[in-house]
A and B are shown apart, each in its own frame.
Chain A
Amino acid sequence: LAKTTQPISMDSYEGQEVNITCSHNNIATNDYITWYQQFPSQGPRFIIQGYKTKVTNEVASLFIPADRKSSTLSLPRVSLSDTAVYYCLVVLSGGYQKVTFGTGTKLQVIP
């Protein structure tokens, strides 16, 4: 399982774009990059997943460079409700492989 490294915490003002970078130097060919969001006392929620280049959905964008050794989660115009912990995971595609979580990034949105 590829290890991920991301900042422990970040602060941002409301309305700003937030970019959280994750490094995964030993990512394997069949691995996908997946991000989850977790609010206090709740289970994590899937945000976005990608393999390469750029993926966008209604919540976020995920940028993955060609070497795939890092990825950046971009949250446009954050609000106070985006205050949460964001986890970057590298997961093997297909099957039911176990998924382990790293430390995550605690994002605090400031009014």
Chain B
Amino acid sequence: GAVVSQHPSWVICKSGTSVKIECRSLDFQATTMFWYRQFPKQSLMLMATSNEGSKATYEQGVEKDKFLINHASLTLSTLTVTSAHPEDSSFYICSANQQLGDNVLTFGAGSRLTVL
């Protein structure tokens, strides 16, 4: 079945630094990937839609200069949290559509970001 790999699975960084999270579709090409954020005991919140070869589409309230998304190839999207602060600490999850027409998403295992 479709596999989405996400790396790193967890990261701890100091306030003010930037952190990059990678999301790869291992056995299929993904024109579109989605980035979610999830706080403890809450549901997933869609942050942005990552489009291969073009700019990402951000959801309302998500700062595009804060959360940089790059989708340079059909199998890789990256999310960079710039100048991270403690309030950015969260669980970040990417997903991709295998493009079978059913709009079923395959999710990565998630990345736990802790900003000190």
Listed in ascending order, the chain A residues whose CB lies under 8 Å from chain B are 32, 34, 36, 41-46, 49, 87, 91-104
B28 — which chain A residues lie within 8 A by C-beta?
none
What's the A-B contact tally at a CB cutoff of 8 Å?
66
Contacting chain A: which of B71-79, B81-89, B93-101? B93-101
User: What bracket does the count of chain B residues touching chain A fall in?
Assistant: 20 to 34
Question: In the complex, A12 Cα to B33 Cα: how many Å?
Answer: 35
Q: How far is the CB of B14 from chain A (nearest CB, A)?
A: 23
Interface string of B21-43 (1 = CB under 8 A from A): 00000000001101010000001
Listed in ascending order, the chain B residues whose CB lies under 8 Å from chain A are 4, 6, 31-32, 34, 36, 43-46, 49, 91, 93-95, 97, 99, 101-110, 112
Report the 7 A-B pairs with minimum CB-CB distance, sorted nearest first: A43-B107, A96-B32, A101-B44, A91-B103, A43-B93, A101-B43, A43-B110
A43 — which chain B residues lie within 8 A by C-beta?
4, 6, 93-95, 107-110
Q: How far is the CB of B4 from chain A (nearest CB, A)?
A: 8
A32 — which chain B residues lie within 8 A by C-beta?
102-103
- Given A41-B91, A42-B110, check contact A102 B104 (CB 8 Å): no
Q: How far is the CB of A36 from chain B (nearest CB, A)?
A: 8
- On whether the beta carbons of B109 and A99 are closer than 8 Å, the reply is no
- On whether the beta carbons of A98 and B34 are closer than 8 Å, the reply is yes
Q: Which of B34, B91, B101, B112 contacts A99 (CB 8 A)?
A: B34
Question: In the complex, A92 Cα to B32 Cα: how many Å?
Answer: 15
